[in-house]
């Protein structure tokens, strides 16, 4: 897998990538079936999207018989880091505190999540 990851993926692209990360490899038909359970997409839309994603280096394929079998060419962690970093830079001008403050005030946060965040902050402070 390559290390370079895009900073932005569209909703459908991200859903396709999640399917490939979860399953390892999938055909167009398998991706189409999995994604159609939540929203109807044309088979050709999925095939076209996979082809475009391959041009961008996001996925690769090999051929089994007459079937293209796709797999992710970028790691999930690399994509999530780049997308989160892009959001942090574009929406919050690089201020992690502003981003966390926004998330804490605009979403319901459970006690368990708050405890986990406190633990993560404490661990990070130990490293500094």
Q: Crossing angle, helix 11-23 and helix 43-55, to 10 degrees?
A: 80
Domain span including residue 28: 11-76
Radius of gyration, CA atoms only, the chain: 18
81 belongs to a structural domain: no
The count of domains in the chain is 2
Give phi and psi for 62, each to the nearest 5: -130, 165
CATH number of the domain bearing residue 62: 1.10.10.10
In a shared domain, residues 105 and 61: no
pLDDT digits (tens, 9 = 90+) for 74-107: 999 999 999 899 999 999 999 999 999 999 999 9
Q: Is there a domain that residue 52 lies in?
A: yes
pLDDT attached to residue 3:
46
* Statement to judge: residues 72 and 100 lie in one domain: no
Query: Per the domain annotation, does 117 fall within a domain?
Result: yes
pTM of the model: 0.80
* Per-position DSSP letters for 74-127, written without gaps between them: B-HHHHHHHHHHHHHHHHHTT-HHHHHHHHHHHS---HHHHHHHHHHHHHHHHH
Do 19 and 71 have their domain in common? yes
Yes or no: say if 19 and 34 are a contact pair by the CB < 8 Å rule.
yes
What is the chain's pLDDT, residue by residue, as a tens digit (128 residues)?
544 667 689 999 999 999 999 999 999 999 999 999 888 899 999 999 999 999 999 999 999 999 999 999 999 999 999 989 999 999 999 999 999 999 999 999 999 999 999 999 999 999 87
Looking at the structure, do residues 15 and 64 belong to the same domain, yes or no?
A: yes
Q: Confirm if 46 and 54 have CB atoms less than 8 A apart.
A: no
Distance between alpha carbon 38 and the CA centroid of its chain, in Å? 17
- Please indicate, yes or no, whether residues 70 and 112 belong to a single structural domain of this protein: no
Q: Which residue has the tokens 């830079």?
A: 89
Same structural domain for residues 72 and 17? yes
pLDDT at 1: 54
Residue 12, beta-bridge partner list: none
Judgement on whether residues 68 and 104 belong to the same structural domain of the protein: no
Residues 16 and 72 in one domain: yes
């Amino acid at each position: 897998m390559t290390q370079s990851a895009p900073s932005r993926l569209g909703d459908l692209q991200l859903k396709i990538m999640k399917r490939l990360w979860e399953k390892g490899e999938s055909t167009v038909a398998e991706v189409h079936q999995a994604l159609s359970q939540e929203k109807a997409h044309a088979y050709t839309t999925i095939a076209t999207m996979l082809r475009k994603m391959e041009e961008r280096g996001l996925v690769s394929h090999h051929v089994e018989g007459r079937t293209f079998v796709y797999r992710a060419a970028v790691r999930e962690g690399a994509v999530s880091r780049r997308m989160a970093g892009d959001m942090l830079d574009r929406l919050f001008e690089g201020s992690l505190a502003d981003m966390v403050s926004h998330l804490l005030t605009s979403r319901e946060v459970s006690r368990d999540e708050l405890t986990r965040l406190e633990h993560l902050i404490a661990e990070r402070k130990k490293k500094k």
